[in-house]
Amino acid sequence: MSAAAEFDVVIVGAGISGIAAAHYLQALCPGRTFTILESRQAIGGTWDLFRYPGVRSDSDMFTLGYSFRPWQSDASFAAGPLIREYVTETARAEGIDRHIRFGHRVTGAQWDSQQARWTVSAAIDNGGSAATLTCRFLFFCSGYYDYEHGHEPEFAGRETFAGTIVHPQHWPEGLDYTGKRVVVIGSGATAITLVPEMTAAAAHVTMLQRSPSYIIALPARDAIGAALRRILPRAISYRLVRWKNILLASAFYQYSRRWPQRARALLIRAAQRLLGPQFDVAHLSPRYDPWDQRLCIAPDGDMFQALRSGKASIVTDGIERFTPAGIRLASGEELPADIVVTATGLQLKLIGGAQLAIDGRPADLSKALIYRGLMYSGVPNMAVASGYTNASWTLKCELAARYVCRLLNHMQANDLDICVPTPGPGVEASGEMFLNLTSGYVQRAAGTLPQQGTRKPWRMYQNYLRDLLSLRFSSLRDGSLRFTKRA
């Protein structure tokens, strides 16, 4: 690649949000030049990275899928390979794949106010060479997970364990767990996916949790969607099912936040009903309120079926140490294991760990306020796509992509070069991170994340309907965006 390569927009990441960004650039900003820098050698992002048994969506595919490309199945929760294929086919059908530069990991970007350009540096996965590009606008669509390392707590005695220890983020190809005793450490979405999947072949699977999570059983197939597809054109039925799911999910979230004790009782009663009176429901009774952390989805109640079958069990206890034969718990009991899966969570890495500088000064994003959920105070001509904590990732990413296109068109129409989100008088940091979860992976990264402000548009609401109005119809001249021409 030539060092002089210049684009109107550089998109970082070729996952769900990166392909959405490219779609809207082509549709709403025709004639703009863009490229996508993808650190991996394939399209799909998270869905290309994770290869553990049973990996699937934990959002329904009618909202995780794109609004502009209907999901073709009645399956609400799709397997990871099918999602990867869906995103890849979307990119291929629209010619977006021709704009992707694979094996390009963005390491830094420097903003020059005199030129009104970003200079983007990328390491190329071909033996250590590097590339340099310039662009008018930088759009990070790389998610906020660390693709290189998951969270691995220090466990005493780990090196003495005679079996196999794996992390779901780096699942070894061909790992045979047939007839083996498996312990899955963790209680989040990954563990809830792994346990029922592994019970089909393993001798027994134990989910070892320090504290419980809420698990809700939902139908794996959307019967209403299937019925609508029989009588309506596919595009119309898809839109109706999509809105049905958006409204239902939003209603349950609002119910949970307004009446947390009622929601808690509802979820625990439903679990008890599926497991029977003999099951100790304390293993499914978290200390926190619903939606303080994401709910775990069990399609067709597969997790509950695995527990009822006796091939899976839950143990709630602390870990004292690993032993050659398994794990000794804080209670003194020892769990025998041939394989231990450390589903202990992910690590956050904002903008893929890239280092930003503005006019020669390093940018500290932890000191920034987040504007409308996608731009950072004091950082010119840059947006970051991220999804909802209480709904599908794609819903927010599409809104963000459309907003960026609206912003670019406004700047072009008014012969403007620079746009900087700038808090006005009286706007201060509220002390709240932009991710409103108590989950461990969020708390561990607290010191690195941008913050919310004390009033809108510096607040995040985790509300699709509210964001739809804000990002689609709000004035760009709202007093918080400072537009200028380059010198």
DSSP 434-449: SS----HHHHHTGGGS
pLDDT at residue 452, as a whole number: 87
Domain ranges of the chain: 6-148+347-484, 167-342
Q: Which residues, at least 6 apart from 92, have a Cβ–Cβ distance to it below 8 Å? A: none
Task: Say yes or no to pLDDT of 126 above 80.
Answer: no
Distance (Å, whole) CA 420 – CA 315: 51
pLDDT tens track for 285-325: 999 999 988 899 999 999 999 999 999 999 999 999 999 99
| Banded model confidence at residue 468, pLDDT cuts 50, 70, 90 | very high
Q: Tell me which of 19-33, 78-92, 149-163 is least confident.
A: 149-163
- What pLDDT does 2 receive? 45
CATH of 6-148+347-484, one of 3.10.180.10, 3.30.70.1050, 3.40.1440.60, 3.50.50.60: 3.50.50.60
Q: What is the pTM of this model?
A: 0.92
| Cβ neighbours of residue 163 closer than 8 Å, sequence gap 6 or more | 326, 337, 338, 339, 340
**DSSP β-ladder status, 130-140 and 382-384:** parallel
Question: What does the pLDDT average to over 382-386?
Answer: 94
Contacts of 250 (CB under 8 A, 6+ apart): 391, 463, 464, 465
Q: How confident is the model at residue 425 (pLDDT cuts 50, 70, 90)?
A: confident
- Least reliable range by pLDDT among 179-188, 246-255, 318-327, 435-444: 435-444
Question: Average pLDDT over the chain, rounded to whole?
Answer: 92
Tell me which of 126-135, 402-411, 427-436 is least confident.
427-436
Give the mean pLDDT of 83-107: 96
Average pLDDT over residues 372-380: 95
Measured from the Cβ of residue 111, the count of other Cβ atoms closer than 10 Å reads 23
CA distance 120 to 11: 11
Q: Which of 468, 455, 404, 466 is nearest to 426 (CA)?
A: 455
Is the pLDDT confidence value at 127 over 80? no
Angle, in degrees to the nearest 10, between helices 260-275 and 302-309: 50
Q: How far is CA 122 from the centre of its chain?
A: 23
